[in-house]
């Protein structure tokens, strides 16, 4: 038996297979969730997992979850991230999961591995992966490069809470001839600030973990830890938390 978890986010689609096979991969979502879902089906078939077969159970999650027409069940990314994080980081009594996603950021409290409370950012891209992506484009660098630049920089203030306004602030910093390192540092620290202000609305557990696209990023985790005055744990598996959670749920279908 294979248990397939598919997490179609706004930027990346993540897949985890557990059971007879053990597979894990990520592809860009692209412009169509349906096409991403269909590419995933093909990739899995090549790896010997037939999602339409009797010995496969599939759960989809994420913003494009409805597009996975071969899934046996859809579950929200909040429940899946909770389950996945508990499995990656250990499901101690109380855990707070911070997930910085492509289009939204969530702060999820878990008790014994079960979601007990959560909040999500409102209609605003600031404090999400989208914000970082837009700013990296503006600085003409890759995401990973931007974090490298940021480490070496002294953050310029980026005061705005709005992506569109923040972008114009970045443009004025560029025009003023500020160092790219400093602007990059300003951008990353503005995201950390926005994420920590979302966290401040939630009672944080002793154990705080980071999932989603930034979960491998030590630099970001350190900024967040400083802001929250709590150690934020990271993991190379963190970006798969949603897909892993979905695969765990698939086991119970």
Partner 1 sequence: MQKLPDNFESYDDKRQKGFITMKNLKDKGQRVVGTFCSFVPQEIIYAAGAIPCGLCASSEEPIPDAESVLPANLCPLIKASYGFALTDKCPYFYFSDIIVGETTCDGKKKMFELLNEIKETYVLQLPNSRDYPDALESWRNEIIRFKEKLEDFYKITITEDDIKKAIKMKNRERDILREYLELGKLVPVPISGYEMGTLIDGLSFSFDIDERCETTAKRTAEVRELWEKEFKGKESKRPRIMVTGCPNMGVRDKIIKNLEELGADCVVIDTCNGIRTQLDKVREDTDVYTALAEKYLNVTCSVMSPNKPRFEEMGVLLDEFKVDAVVEIVLQACHTFNIETYNVKRYVTEEKGLPYMSLETDYSQSDKGQITTRLEAFIEMLM
CA triple 103-243-87, angle to 5 deg: 115
Is position 181 an interface residue for partner 1 (rule: CB under 8 A)? no
| Size of site (CB under 8 A) for partner 1 | 15
* DSSP H helical ranges for the chain: 33-46, 77-89, 129-139, 143-151, 163-175, 180-199, 218-228, 241-250
Is position 78 an interface residue for partner 1 (rule: CB under 8 A)? yes
Nearer to partner 1, 46 or 123 (CB): 123
- Interatomic CA distance for residues 99 and 6, integer angstroms: 17
Q: To the nearest whole angstrom, how small is the minimum distance from the Cβ of residue 45 to partner 1?
A: 29
Considering only residues 92 through 111, tell me which ones interact with partner 1, judged by CB under 8 A. Answer: 104
Nearer to partner 1, 63 or 220 (CB): 63
Is position 234 an interface residue for partner 1 (rule: CB under 8 A)? no
Q: Give the HSE-up count for residue 231: Cα atoms under 13 Å, Cβ half-sphere.
A: 4
Is position 141 an interface residue for partner 1 (rule: CB under 8 A)? no
- Rule CB under 8 A: choose which of 116, 137, 144, 159 binds partner 1: 116
C-alpha distances out from residue 164 to 36, 130, 134, 153, 160, Å: 28, 11, 9, 23, 9
Q: To the nearest whole angstrom, how small is the minimum distance from the Cβ of residue 123 to partner 1?
A: 6
- The token duo for 32 is 């169509």
Q: To the nearest whole angstrom, how small is the minimum distance from the Cβ of residue 128 to partner 1?
A: 12
Q: To the nearest whole angstrom, how small is the minimum distance from the Cβ of residue 12 to partner 1?
A: 18
Which phi and psi angles does 8 have, rounded to 5°? -95, 100
- The token duo for 10 is 């706004």
Contact segment (CB under 8 A) with partner 1 among 39-47, 119-127, 154-162, 167-175 equals: 119-127
> Which residues 6+ apart lie within 8 Å of 53 measured at CB?
none
Site string for partner 1, 34-63 (x = CB under 8 A): -----------------------------x
Q: To the nearest whole angstrom, how small is the minimum distance from the Cβ of residue 187 to partner 1?
A: 24
DSSP string, 174-190: HHTT--HHHHHHHHHHH
Q: To the nearest whole angstrom, how small is the minimum distance from the Cβ of residue 75 to partner 1?
A: 7
Contact segment (CB under 8 A) with partner 1 among 26-34, 114-122, 131-139, 238-246 equals: 114-122
- Are 3 and 250 spatial neighbours (Cβ–Cβ below 8 Å)? yes
CA triple 44-50-51, angle to 5 deg: 90
- Rule CB under 8 A: choose which of 29, 60, 79, 215 binds partner 1: 79
- Are 190 and 218 spatial neighbours (Cβ–Cβ below 8 Å)? no
Is position 115 an interface residue for partner 1 (rule: CB under 8 A)? yes
Q: Could you list the residues that contact partner 1 (CB under 8 A)?
A: 63, 75-79, 104, 114-118, 120, 122-123
């Amino acid at each position: 038996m294979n248990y397939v978890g598919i997490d179609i986010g706004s930027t990346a689609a993540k897949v985890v297979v557990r059971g007879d096979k053990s597979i894990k991969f990520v592809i860009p979502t692209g412009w169509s969730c349906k096409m991403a879902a269909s590419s995933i089906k093909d990739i899995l078939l090549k790896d010997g997992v037939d999602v339409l077969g009797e010995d496969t159970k599939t759960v989809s999650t994420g913003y494009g979850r409805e597009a996975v027409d071969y899934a046996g069940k859809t579950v929200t990314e909040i429940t899946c991230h909770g389950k996945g994080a508990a499995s990656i980081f250990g499901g101690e009594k109380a855990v707070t999961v911070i997930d910085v996603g492509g289009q939204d950021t969530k702060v999820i409290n878990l008790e014994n591995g079960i979601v007990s409370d959560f909040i999500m950012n409102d209609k605003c891209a600031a404090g999400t992966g989208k914000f970082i992506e837009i700013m990296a484009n503006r600085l003409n660098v890759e995401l990973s490069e931007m974090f490298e630049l940021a480490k070496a920089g002294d953050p310029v203030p980026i005061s705005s809470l709005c992506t569109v306004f923040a972008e114009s602030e970045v443009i004025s910093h560029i025009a003023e001839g500020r160092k790219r390192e400093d602007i990059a540092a300003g951008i990353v620290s503005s995201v950390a600030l926005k994420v920590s202000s979302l966290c401040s609305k939630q009672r944080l557990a002793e154990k705080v973990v980071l999932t989603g696209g930034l979960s491998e990023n030590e630099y970001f985790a350190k900024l967040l830890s400083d802001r929250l005055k709590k150690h934020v744990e990271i993991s190379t598996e963190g970006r798969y938390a949603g897909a892993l959670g979905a695969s765990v749920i698939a086991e119970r279908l």
